[in-house]
Structure 1
């Protein structure tokens, strides 16, 4: 999964810099979200799907991508694939959106909350990579937000100088009914 971060962030207009940067409004207007699946195959491999993006952005305040619900991998029967991570970028460091959360839950309804792997069960999650850099032509993979529908955890992961990742649970999401949820900040 972490190998996908620089791949996604280096796509055209995948980052917009920081909101305080002089050219941020224009960069945001041109920014795109790219998304992909990390899925688990019957031969015990994690694979990255092709990247998807949306040509049209309907809401000028938000960015989104159009990720298909299933992966077409001609090497394996469709029902044999396990869906693990929904990956996408955020053009700047902001938390997961309502659309992100609802999409993750919808995909968990389709594919299940966990995937059994050789190393044990892995929960389905949505991941939003971000760069803290000011130069969108040289983005750095500085972290990501993760929502795990099975546990309700919202986690912020950040890169540290020694190459390790620091995990901090920032909130817990609780569904009140089929359409409404509450986020309790940590």
Structure 2
């Protein structure tokens, strides 16, 4: 079932989702000085932003169910369900747009994030036709600036398998400022090139 919406515009839905995610308990812990306390406190939430047959954008119910976490990598990973259940629509009529989650420490997308959206793209359409045009499936990680005691939506990272674009959006008032971080070229399952630099997990 939907958590919130509907929205007519994907950007409006993303902005509302960002604010909602970062209002959740321990969704951002960069202000906690003790790294062990920050890691233990941190929570990662995830949800789908999807497109419905009535040409609206909805966000699914949010979950914080975790995958097995590796303490050596100091991260939390939310387990995103592969499909959304919305009793108003047939499962075949729901179109998946953005896999949403927060990054408690405000960092960039991990290789695990990027591999996850590629796996999900193999279950869903890589590009969805909407009333406003074609929208490719992407993964989004919301962040708040680490020095904020009260978190707010300061931006998000986005990776789109269809275009290979890795982007960062920063919020300045009501405006989203886009930064192109580069094109991702995969060398193998654990390594990619970004602007000629090798990134490995």
Instruction: Calculate the TM-score normalised by the size of structure 2.
Output: 0.84
Partner residue in 1 for 2:4: none
Equivalent in the alignment of 1:169: 180
Q: Distance in 1 between matches of 2:37 and 2:65?
A: 18
- Structure 2: how far apart are the matches of 1:98 and 1:173? 11
The match for 1:145 is: 157
Structure 1 residue corresponding to 2:33, chosen from 7, 22, 34: 22
Partner residue of 2:106?
Answer: 93
- 1:63 offset after TM fit, Å? 1.1
Alignment of 1:58-69 (within 5 A): 58-60=69-71, 61-69=74-82
Using the TM superposition, give the Cα deviation of residue 181 of structure 1 relative to its aligned residue in structure 2, in angstroms: 4.5
Distance 1:164 1:135 in 2: 20
Taking only aligned residues, the RMSD between alpha carbons, in angstroms, comes to 1.7
* Divergent runs of 4+, >6 A: none
C-alpha distance after superposition, 1:11-46 (max 9, x if no partner): 11111124xx52343122210110000000111111
From 42, 53, 67, the counterpart of 2:64:
53
1:77 matches 2:87: no
SS, match of residue 120 in structure 2: helix
SS at match of 2:78: coil
Match of 2:139 among 126, 146, 149: 126
Gaps of 5+ in 1: none
Q: Residues 70-90 of structure 1, C-alpha deviation per residue, up to 9 Å, x if partnerless?
A: 000010000101000011000
Match in the other structure for 2:55? 44
Residue 108 of structure 1 and its aligned partner are, at CA, apart by 0.8
Structure 2 spans left out of the alignment, 5+ residues: 1-13, 197-201
How many residues matched?
181
